[in-house]
Each structure stands twice: as structure tokens, then as C-alpha cells.
Amino acid sequence: MKIETFGHAGLLLTDNNEQPLLVTDPWITGSAYWRSWWLQNYPHENQIEKLLQVKYVYITHEHPDHFHLPSIRKLGKKPTYLFPDLPDISMSSFLGSDNSYNLKNMTANQWHSISDNVSILSFPLWNDDSILLIDTPNAFIINLNDAKPNSKIIAQIHKVKKYLSNKKTIVLSSYSPASIVNAFMRQGERVHMKNKVDYVNYLNQINKALGADIFMPFASQAVFLRSDSLWANEYKVTFNDLQMYWDNDAILLPSYSTVDLDSFHTSYIPQCEYNAKGDKKYLLIHQREELEKEAVINAEDISNLSKKFNSTRLFLAILFPKGIGISTNNCHLVYNPISGRVSQCDLEQLQENNFWLKIPTQTLKDSLFNDHFGDLAITMFIEINLNRQVKPIMIYLFFIFLTINDYQHNKSVSHLIRWFLSTVRKTFVTSPKIPMPTTKEWSWSN
């Protein structure tokens, strides 16, 4: 039995007969976030052939670097696709619209057998992400991806680790910024909220708290190649950074590693052998950038933007009474939270707002059409310009509230209550106990 990482947040577990049993968050082709994100290392054809034989595919959350539709279409309809039990999330319904995919929603906080000697548990979180725990004969695998669980949940997972004390504990987690943390500008100077050592120190704390034996770098294997996102590569946390600041007892493996779960022998793909897929991607990037230049904001876009911002109008009026600006390739817009209106303005008026966002035109149109404005915070190409009074943390709150609306948690009182009772309460209030993997359940919720 082996575990190996591939793509971005792809984890492949093969059984004792070297048959692919489980894959998580497959991204094996193409790009993400409007041609901004590309893989450092694409799987070779022999690896893809192996992935095409997998029995189960688990998707941790809805972000397109994890729920990557082109890759799912490539894997096809043979596997059983597993999803966390998250409220108001449409992954399974979206994928199952043609009724030809085999889809299962996993009952939260319950062990499910996927073979005679492997079981998995899905733990959904308030931020519409999920943790996947995997119990194998010799290893306890903790896939944290981007989840960033609080100390209560980490303590619960550690109890399972102690119960399985005869097994090696393998932790996988993201380790590099994929947010607006370095996207802030004030008077032409970049403002940083964190530096590289902060990310590694977080991993040090997590590995110590979980008593990890092995850490596999994970969910941070993308490079940013649009001309307006190239700058972000400078702030990526690299394997060298992990080595420099590593301060815990877990063995740090390189990216794209394989671990034999019997002997615990490890191997990895050297960086000189990465498959970057040639120059085709640069043509696709150029086509996307030309599309951005040609796109025009119309009345429908302005109406959609007003509707999106008005979903959290009270919050915005309190924190940003001077307004919020948006600059696209060919126009400037300002949102007044007092009146609830979006109107066009000039550059001087744009700079009078509490902050203003620089967003490529077609990307803004797409995010509004798809009602996923919060995804803009992850693209690595938007720019956030602050006035002297506004602190970056306030912009984080801005995107959190709009993302809550993206997922329709505040669509109605009943939606808000369901979200609170299902994941918010479990994440922050009660942190329900994770059962020990003694009883292997075969039931799934549909």
C-alpha cells in the first residue's frame, strides 16, 4: 500500500495489489482561476492512466484548484465521487446534473469503509472546507489541505492519533499563501500581512500538536503565470523555505513524494524532472489577457455588482462609509453603501474611497455572473489599494462576508440557521468528538 502526491492537492492511495483506491482533489490538466494558476509538475501519461482506474475520488471543497472540473471530466464517470456534507454547497448537484456520475455525500464525522482495511472520515468546517482522515493498516493519514482547523479540532484528531499509537501519522497541508495576504498597496507601496516564516511556523505548531511522524507538502504546488500575477511567485513558500524554518519532529518530505505504507520507504520526483507541459499554456494565457482587454462592463454587470454588495450592505456601511471602488481595464466604479448604488467615476473619485480593487474586466464579469465574487481573493492578480485609515484585516472581513453570500448561507434566516447548526456550531462551539475508527460504516447519505 502506498500514498503519493501529485498535481496540486492530489493524494493517491493504492492498495496492496497496487490498484488505485482513493484520490483527493484531482487537478491533472489545464489551469485554474482565469488562467492564473498552473501546475509546477503535471502528471505524465502513465500516472494519468493509473488515476483513470481509481475507485473513489474525494473532493474537499469547492475552490477550482480542488474541485477542478476539467480534471474530473478527464477521470470520467467510472469512479465514485465523494463529497463532504456541507450546507448550501452545490458540488454534487452540479456534477450530477446529467445523472451519469456516481455521487455520494459522506455523512459527517463518521467512518466509512472503502476497502477491507481502509476507512475514511470527512469533517466539514464552517469555511466550506473539509478535513479528510484516512485509517490504513499501518498509517493514520490527515489531509488538512486548506482547512486551517482550530485547536479544538486538532485536539480531537490527536485523540484518534493516540488511539492509533501503533501507526505512523502522516500529515498533509497547504503551506504557501493563496489569498490577498500580499495583494495590498498603500501609496504605491506593497503592504504585507505575513511573511514566509509565519506559514512554516504554523506547520511547526500543527505537526507538534498532532504528533506527526511525516509531513508531505501539499496543496501549494501551483505557479502564477498571468502577466498580472507573476509578482506573486516571489512570495511563494518553497521547499527550501520549509527546510530553513522547519522546527518539529516530523520528517519533511519534498513535493511529489511517495511513501510505502509498509516499509515507510520514501521517494520523490526531482525538480529537474518536473513536467511543465511546454508552451501551450502561454498561448492560452495570451488569449485570456486579450479577452480581458476587449471586455466591457455593461448595465447588467453593474446591477449584479450592486446586488452582491447590497447582500452585506449594513456591514459595508459601518466599516466602509466612504465607499468601495473598483477599477477594471477600461472603467472605474464606486459603490456607495449608504445609497446602495454602483456608479461610474473618474480616477480621482476612485481614490477617495476607503479602498479600491483593481480587477481585470472579464474576470469581474465572470465572478458576478457565476455569483462567486469571493474567488477573486484567491486569483493572485487582483490589487487592493488602501487609504491611510483602512487596515488589511478589514478587507479580509469584506471578502468573508461576500463569500458567505456566494454560498447562500445568508440567503434566508433558515439558511443561516442551518449553516450555523451544521458547521459553525461544530467548528467553534461544540467541536464534536471524532469517533475512533473501530466501527466501519458502509452507509452513505444521498
Could you tell me the CATH number of the domain that includes residue 324? 3.30.1050.10
**In-domain check, residue 52:** yes
Q: How far apart are CA 135 and CA 145, in angstroms?
A: 17
**In-domain check, residue 412:** no
With a threshold of 0.85, does the pTM exceed it?
Answer: yes
* DSSP line for 168-187: EEEEEE--S--SSTT-EEET
Q: Are residues 302 and 256 part of one domain? A: no
Q: Are residues 157 and 22 part of one domain? A: yes
Q: Are residues 358 and 263 part of one domain? A: no
* Torsion 253-259-261-262 (CA) sign: negative
Phi and psi based region of residue 88 (left: phi greater than 0; alpha: psi -120 to 50; beta: remaining)? left
Q: Are residues 75 and 50 part of one domain? A: yes
**In-domain check, residue 287:** no
Enter the C-alpha cell of residue 52.
483513470
Phi and psi based region of residue 435 (left: phi greater than 0; alpha: psi -120 to 50; beta: remaining)? beta
**In-domain check, residue 289:** no
What is the residue range of 349's domain?
295-406
**In-domain check, residue 123:** yes
Q: Are residues 299 and 207 part of one domain? A: no
Q: Are residues 74 and 208 part of one domain? A: yes
Enter the C-alpha cell of residue 295.
471586455
**In-domain check, residue 373:** yes
Nearest one of 34, 393, 439 to 192, comparing CA atoms: 393
**In-domain check, residue 8:** yes
Give Cα separations from 76 to 26, 46, 72, 286, 356 (angstroms). Answer: 12, 17, 6, 29, 42
**In-domain check, residue 98:** yes
Could you tell me the CATH number of the domain that includes residue 248? 3.60.15.10
Q: Are residues 252 and 206 part of one domain? A: yes
Tell me how many domains the chain contains.
2
Q: Are residues 338 and 234 part of one domain? A: no
Boundary of a domain, candidates 236, 260, 282: 282
Q: Are residues 49 and 110 part of one domain? A: yes
Which pLDDT tens digits describe the chain residue by residue (446 residues)? 999 999 999 999 999 999 999 999 999 999 999 999 999 999 999 999 999 999 999 999 999 999 999 999 999 999 999 999 998 777 877 787 666 899 999 999 999 999 999 999 999 999 999 999 999 999 999 999 999 999 999 999 999 999 999 999 999 999 999 999 999 999 889 999 999 999 999 999 999 999 999 999 999 999 999 999 999 999 999 999 999 999 999 999 999 999 999 999 999 999 999 998 766 889 999 999 999 999 999 999 999 999 999 999 999 999 999 999 999 999 999 999 999 999 999 988 998 999 999 999 999 999 999 999 999 999 999 999 999 789 999 999 999 999 999 999 988 888 888 888 888 887 777 767 899 997 555 555 54
